[in-house]
Amino acid sequence: MIATIAERCCPSMRLISCKKTCLLTLTLLGCVLSGCKDGVWDWSAFFPKDKKGNVDSNNYVDPIMKSAAYRNTIAEYAYFDGMRRMRVRGYGVVVGLRDTGSAECPTHIKNELVQEMYKKRDFISRPEDLIARRDTAVVTIEGEIPAAATEGTEFDLLVRALPGTQTTSLEHGILIPCDLRIFRTTGASGWIPGRILGVGEGPIFMNPFAASRGSATRTSKREGTIIAGGRVNTDRRVRLLLTTPSYQRAATIANRINARFADPEDPVADAISPSEVRVTIPAEHRDDPKHYVTLVQHLYLPIRPGFEDSVRRALAKEFSGRDAPHVEIALAWEALGRNVLPDVKKFYDDGYPPRSFYSAVAGLHLGDDDAVDALDRHLNNPNSDHRSGAIKVLRTARNSMRAAGALRRALSAEDPRIRMDAYEALLERNDPYITTFNIGRGDFAIDLVRSDGTKMIAAKRSEDRRIALFGDVRAQPPLFYSLPDDSLMLTADPGDRHVTLVRSPDEAGMLPPVKVDTEVAQVISRLGNPPPNVALGPQGLGVDYASIILVLSELVDSGAIDAHFMMESPASSVLPRSSKPMGRPESEL
């Protein structure tokens, strides 16, 4: 038998003597057997490795695939499509540019805009005449719709003046409502519009520090952002694609999702083909659809007797390891449901931070209020790597007063980033520690935040236009300040109990000086509210949001306001999730 194998591999072996044949044949057979793994031939044993000893990367197996948090889950058989951000574009008209716009616009873009504008609203003048004015400009708009976004989701927009036009600045501009579409790129600068996925509108935000005196940053005034200016008008399609088509398995996956998340009369998953399961985001998960789809991936498919008990034992044992995939196991626990809480609670007081943190994450998501104490310990530990993560988990516990208490204490932390995270979490809960005043016609909001820590002013520049005041923040006379273009001046003499605000004349005419209390909230309100002839109610000087942020920042720098100033980073925050997606990567829609 051995000789036959050797002869088939090399016929010339028939000429070799018997002893040499046996010896050579045994050597060859050992090489052949070493190249067979699990019934699949691996010919790499016959070829030398490179100088570094590397092997083909195609043979790499992700360690997560060996975990009990992956085996027998939906992620082993299917992956989500539609989980990347989707770019949308459009053309629009910006008004209110104070003679810095341009009437120039390519004919095909102008025709498209005119048709769109006639459909959307009534105009005092014709759309064609609006585009032709010097105080308007046609712009391109771009934005990215978040993954698994639902109807009404807001997102930021980037606005640019059309190339080749004489528009000099978009400052003070307001984008009137326009359509945002999916697109297909056709070249370096061309694209074909597709279906409408959202709408865009709102005031343009210019970087307030780019034009300030002594600034090293210079940005073009021909572009700006609209904070939360985009709004999704239809749910993004979310679907599971099976790696191996099977209607039986697709139906099993849909049934498993519906059993865990759906009302019997309102299914959230539907097996529409052997390769696809269409998934809907349930109402209770629409605030965090990404967490929902990640949880779906960790649902176990087998329902046979004893399976859940065996999985629970395997997960608990695996979680005890220092190099275990703690994030994935926490999600698997959450997918299994409240029956796993006895296993999860054992790790709340564990001395290894990842174990105590991620077990508490799973416990809180499963409704165990005792998990708050474990998360609070991380939040109050300046050396913990999980402080921000703890806040992002605590913000999901909307009905927990213990979670509210932990977040309120964080408002006085030394780290301003922790204070900002806690403020945003409490803002979502409509917590009484935050009092909100809307400025102007919904232009932005002031939030008064109860805090015993260092006084702080925090301004947002993504997702929402808000200025948060931590503690009783006041201006301290004497002070003198004017904007770089001298359009606004603030003064106060020594001993004054008020600040005088003077706005230079504009198209609305001369505005008289305004005296206001030194409380910074009052100063902001008077600056931001519209002039007397624009709207009823609170009256002010009509200063835009970006200019107010610049005023506050420079008053803090000069010492006229004794507080810390913080400008929000535009980078998006992500809840603690899997370090990498499970299964195969998804495709764009």
pLDDT tens for each residue of 139-173: 999 999 988 888 999 999 999 999 989 999 998 89
Same domain, yes or no: 227 and 168: yes
In-domain check, residue 78: no
Q: Is residue 292 part of a domain?
A: yes
Percent share of the chain, pLDDT over 70:
80
- Shared domain for 137 and 185, answered yes or no, is yes
Q: Is the pLDDT of residue 562 over 60?
A: yes
Share of the chain above pLDDT 90, in %: 60
Q: Are residues 243 and 221 in the same domain?
A: no
Kindly state whether residues 95 and 212 are assigned to the same domain.
yes
Q: How confident is the model at residue 313 (pLDDT cuts 50, 70, 90)?
A: very high
pLDDT tens digits, 356-365: 999 999 999 9
pTM score, two decimals?
A: 0.78
The reply to whether 479 and 540 lie within a common domain is yes
Of 259, 247, 242, 350, nearest to 300 (Cα)?
259
Is 122 or 566 the better-scoring residue by pLDDT? Answer: 566
Q: Is residue 147 part of a domain?
A: yes
Q: Domain check: are 195 and 91 in the same one?
A: yes
Q: Is 368 helix (H, G, I), strand (E, B) or coil?
A: coil
131, 227: one domain: yes
- The 10s digit of each residue's pLDDT in 199-239 is 999 999 988 876 554 544 556 889 999 999 999 998 888 89
Rg (Cα) of the chain, in Å, rounded? 31
Q: Which burial class, exposed, middle or buried, applies to 217 when counting CB atoms under 10 A from its CB (0-12, 13-18, 19+)?
A: exposed
pLDDT of residue 69 exceeding 80, the answer is yes
pLDDT at 574: 27
| pLDDT of the residue at 20 | 41
Q: What is the DSSP string of 272-309?
A: EETTEEEE---GGGTT-HHHHHHHHHT-B----TTHHH
The pLDDT score that the predictor gives to residue 127 is: 87
Of 226, 198, 190, 231, nearest in space to 106 by CA? 190
455 part of a folded domain: yes
**What span, in angstroms and rounded, lies between the C-alpha atoms of 28 and 51?**
25
- Which pLDDT score, from 0 to 100, does residue 46 have? 30
Q: What is the pLDDT of residue 58?
A: 55
* Token pair in block for residue 402: 């213990």
Question: Per-residue pLDDT averaged across 334-357, rounded?
Answer: 96
Q: Are 235 and 279 in contact (CB under 8 A)?
A: no
The reported pLDDT for the residue numbered 283 is 86
Position 395 scores a pLDDT of: 93
261-265, 283-287, 447-451, 546-550: which is most confident? 447-451
Intra-chain end-to-end CA distance of the chain, in Å:
57
CA distance 575 to 238: 20
Residue 578 has pLDDT above 50, yes or no: no
Do residues 213 and 251 both lie within one domain?
no
Q: What is the domain extent for residue 36?
A: 1-51
Q: Does 377 fall in a domain?
A: no
Query: What's the Cα-to-Cα distance from 67 to each of 73, 311, 479, rounded to whole Å?
Result: 11, 11, 63
Q: Are strands 488-492 and 276-279 parallel, antiparallel or unpaired?
A: unpaired
Q: What is the mean pLDDT of residues 101-110?
A: 91
Mean pLDDT for 574-580 is 33
- Quickly state the pLDDT bin for 570 (edges 50, 70, 90): low
Residue 72 CA to chain centroid, in angstroms? 30
Mean pLDDT over 305-334 rounds to: 96
pLDDT of residue 321: 94
Beta bridge partners of 564: 456
Task: Identify the residue with better confidence: 236 or 37.
Answer: 236
Q: Among residues 267, 237, 264, which one has the least CA distance to residue 254? A: 267
Which of 184, 210, 232 marks a domain boundary?
232
Q: Is the pLDDT of residue 581 over 60?
A: no
- Domain-embedded: residue 548: yes
What integer best gives the mean pLDDT of the chain? 83
- In whole angstroms, give the CA distance from residue 149 to residue 86: 10
Distance (Å, rounded) from C-alpha 365 to C-alpha 337?
10
What is the predicted pLDDT for the residue at 126? 85
Kindly indicate the confidence band of residue 192, based on its pLDDT and cuts at 50, 70 and 90: low
Specify the number of domains making up the chain: 4
Residues 524 and 478 occupy one common structural domain: yes
Q: What pLDDT is recorded for position 40?
A: 33
Tell me if 195 sits within 8 A of 182, measured CB to CB: yes
Cis peptide before 48 (omega within 30 of 0): no
Quick one: 274 and 219 in the same domain?
no
pLDDT at residue 106 tops 50:
yes
pLDDT, position 237: 84
Q: What is the pLDDT of residues 410-447, one digit of tens each?
A: 999 999 999 999 999 999 999 999 999 999 877 899 99
From 4-18, 118-132, 332-346, 477-491, the region with the lowest mean pLDDT = 4-18
- 187 and 251 housed in the same domain: no
pLDDT (mean) for 256-264? 87
154 and 29 within one domain: no
Task: Decide if 323 is inside a domain.
Answer: no
